[in-house]
Amino acid sequence: MTENNIEKAKKRLDSVFDAFSIVADDTYVFLCDMKYDYSRWSKALVETFNLPSEYMYEAGKIWEEHIHPDDRQAYKEGIDAVFSGKQAGHDIQYRAKLPNGEYAICTCRGLVIKDNDGNSEYFGGAIRNHSQKSQIDTLTGLRNQYGFFADLASYIRNKTPIHIGMIGIARLTEINEVYGYDVGNKILQNVGRYLMDKVTNRGGTYRLDGSRFAVITTVQTEDEFAGQYEKFRANYRKGVCIDDMDILLELQAGMLSLNDFNVDTETVYSCLTYAYQQSKLKQHGDLVKFRNDLMGNNRQTLAKLHEIRASITQDFAGYYLLYQPIVDASTEKLIGVEALLRWKNDEYGVVPPDMFIPFLETDPIFPVLGDWIIETALRDTKELNKYVPDAVVHVNLSYSQMEKAGFSDTIWNLLEKVEFAPNQLSLEITERCRLLDMDLLRNVIVTLRAGGVRIALDDFGTGFSSLGLVKNLPFDTIKIDRSFVQHIETDEREKKLLNNCTNLAGNFGADVCVEGVETSGMRDIIKDYGIHSFQGYYYSKPIPIEELLEKVKSGRDCFAK
């Protein structure tokens, strides 16, 4: 072959290649001039798999080296069939080796293109790498959640200050049900386009999932951003015209300003999600800023949460449990304990759970911590059982733990592993579990109770739907919140309320535990209301397990007054 011919062939290869290389970002293209066995492969593929060049002679042989030994034979046979003219194309799946030694599952589809004389001229096609997640949302054309995380990581790496907004359409599920998915999709496209028009050249717009979008801006101030959200909201409140229908939309949004770069993307995402949830659940869609509205000091909070979150993967460093005694209301003997989570390190000292659990509970990593809490509580209480054989340990749950498939199996496995009697474990849930699907919640509770585990409703009286929950779900214990009895010594109304609560609980066959008993005066009053157990500083603050064990050595009435 002459230099000239090769140049011509190369030019033609390039022009054909360019024509069909307009594809999605997780698909690579290859084109081979079969006469010379000379190929051009997508740059992205060459980089991802560390191939010698975009232009290769005998590319098939080079690629073969990357294919998993078990898949190599099939690949070779396929390629031979194409080059010998036996097959007009191929469609196979194999594993191809990445530079880090891992294998990516790839699908390769190719076709032979013949010249005017019927001879095989080109072999071209696409390789799809299934391990590479697309960063584009197909419905809106915006970057998706993977794109969001990739960009966020790069802003953090480059220490670029940004404001991030998470914006969602309220009740999109209902809209889908009423108007159909097609209309729902058009709304998403419309909102996506609106956001993109407003943020172009000023950062990025992303579709995260379902009805949620994100925007990242590098140039706007916080106030500009907030102002823009209000306009955006007003615009959609007036209605959006889809298929000749005016559909009124409500939005909700959270925002976070990032100027501390000692954090990871997941922590930022959890905090942003938290602000968004507040907007959705408590603020009727008003913009909730993570910084000012929630914690005061954003800088410290983000860095702190980053540490606290990272500790989960560092063998739970800094996490520990304290135990607060629960005593029988009439005998004041110890009948159980509540396990309460703490985290501490040298820099931040002891951080109470209210400071971090609400931010982390929607984080996918939270259930890992949740399992650790349950297992640790069971192990510690086994020790306690040596002195108080029937002590019940109360463990707090987050609604996100219960939502995870196989949650009850997790509980059975932990109980078996620690050899712990199910009826000595009481799982406390709060009214926040109303965020879950009621059927799912009932299923979990019924399954757990059928296996002997007790279920307690925590913080009764603080949520709006506690009454509905008591009516619909079977609880073994109802824990009356501290705020209900705080002024019981002076406030007649609190006495009436307490009376109503205990009657109600009694009707549903549940025990009542009153939390936050701080004085003998409180105890004396509350005692008369048919209460089953007490918990509060009057008996003991939460203490380490060692201290608790030391105390119960002298008998189970060690906390009696």
Residues that bind Ca ion (CB under 5 A): 396, 428, 458-459
Count interface residues toward ligand C2E (CB under 6 A): 22
User: Which residues, in sequence order, are bridge partners of residue 320?
Assistant: 342
Binding status of residue 463 toward ligand C2E by CB under 6 A: no
Report the nearest approach of ligand C2E to the CB of residue 282 (Å).
17
In angstroms, rounded to a whole number, what is the distance separating the alpha carbons of residues 269 and 287? 16
Nearer Cβ to ligand C2E (252/270): 270
Give the binding range for ligand C2E (CB under 6 A) out of 87-95, 105-113, 384-392, 529-537.
Answer: 529-537
57 interacts with, out of Ca ion, ligand C2E, none, CB within 5 to 8 A per kind: none
Binding status of residue 341 toward ligand C2E by CB under 6 A: yes
**Contact between residue 148 and residue 206 where contact means Cβ atoms under 8 Å apart:** yes
Quickly count: other Cβ atoms within 10 Å of residue 357's Cβ. 16
Report the nearest approach of ligand C2E to the CB of residue 488 (Å).
13
Helix, strand or coil, per DSSP, at residue 350: strand
Nearer Cβ to ligand C2E (253/339): 339
Q: Which amino acid is at 470?
A: V
Nearer Cβ to Ca ion (126/485): 485
Report the nearest approach of ligand C2E to the CB of residue 197 (Å).
42
In angstroms, rounded to a whole number, what is the distance separating the alpha carbons of residues 522 and 321? 27
Token couple for 389: 């054989």
Kindly tell me which residue out of 99, 353, 364, 521 binds ligand C2E, with binding defined by CB under 6 A.
353
Nearer Cβ to Ca ion (423/462): 462
Report the nearest approach of Ca ion to the CB of residue 504 (Å).
17
Quickly count: other Cβ atoms within 10 Å of residue 472's Cβ. 12
Kindly tell me which residue out of 267, 396, 502, 533 binds ligand C2E, with binding defined by CB under 6 A.
396
Helix, strand or coil, per DSSP, at residue 479: strand
Buried b (16+ CB within 10 A) or exposed e, 135-160: bbbeebebbbbbbbbebbeebbeeee
Count of positions (residues) in the chain? 561
End-to-end Cα, the chain, rounded Å: 102
373 interacts with, out of ligand C2E, Ca ion, none, CB within 5 to 8 A per kind: ligand C2E
Binding status of residue 477 toward ligand C2E by CB under 6 A: no
Binding status of residue 512 toward ligand C2E by CB under 6 A: no
Pairing of strands 425-429, 392-396: parallel
Report the nearest approach of ligand C2E to the CB of residue 444 (Å).
15
In angstroms, rounded to a whole number, what is the distance separating the alpha carbons of residues 159 and 154? 8
Binding status of residue 349 toward ligand C2E by CB under 6 A: no
Kindly tell me which residue out of 39, 42, 279, 398 binds ligand C2E, with binding defined by CB under 6 A.
398
Mark residue 316 as left, alpha or beta (left: phi above 0; alpha: psi -120 to 50; beta: remaining). left
Give the binding range for ligand C2E (CB under 6 A) out of 103-111, 135-143, 249-257, 348-356.
Answer: 348-356
Give the binding range for ligand C2E (CB under 6 A) out of 191-199, 411-419, 502-510, 531-539.
Answer: 531-539
DSSP E strands: which ranges in 170-296?
Answer: 203-209, 212-217, 240-242, 245-247, 251-258, 288-289
x/- letters, 193..222, toward ligand C2E (CB under 6 A): ------------------------------
Nearer Cβ to ligand C2E (57/537): 537
Nearer Cβ to ligand C2E (137/458): 458
542 interacts with, out of ligand C2E, Ca ion, none, CB within 5 to 8 A per kind: ligand C2E
Report the nearest approach of ligand C2E to the CB of residue 456 (Å).
10
DSSP 540-553: ---B-HHHHHHHHT
Binding status of residue 458 toward ligand C2E by CB under 6 A: yes
Q: Which of 412, 420, 415, 312 is nearest to 367 (CA)?
A: 312
In angstroms, rounded to a whole number, what is the distance separating the alpha carbons of residues 228 and 287? 11
Nearer Cβ to ligand C2E (463/536): 536
φ, ψ of residue 468 in degrees (nearest 5): -60, -40
Report the nearest approach of ligand C2E to the CB of residue 324 (Å).
6
221 burial via Cβ count (<10 Å: 0-12, 13-18, 19+): exposed
In angstroms, rounded to a whole number, what is the distance separating the alpha carbons of residues 22 and 29? 9
In angstroms, rounded to a whole number, what is the distance separating the alpha carbons of residues 314 and 296? 28
Binding status of residue 537 toward ligand C2E by CB under 6 A: yes
HSE of 285, CA atoms in CB hemisphere, 13 A: 15
In angstroms, rounded to a whole number, what is the distance separating the alpha carbons of residues 369 and 371? 5
Nearer Cβ to ligand C2E (175/337): 337
Binding status of residue 542 toward ligand C2E by CB under 6 A: yes
Binding status of residue 352 toward ligand C2E by CB under 6 A: yes
Report the nearest approach of ligand C2E to the CB of residue 438 (Å).
20
Footprint of ligand C2E on this chain (CB under 6 A)? 324, 340-341, 352-354, 357, 373, 396-398, 458-459, 482, 515-518, 535-537, 542
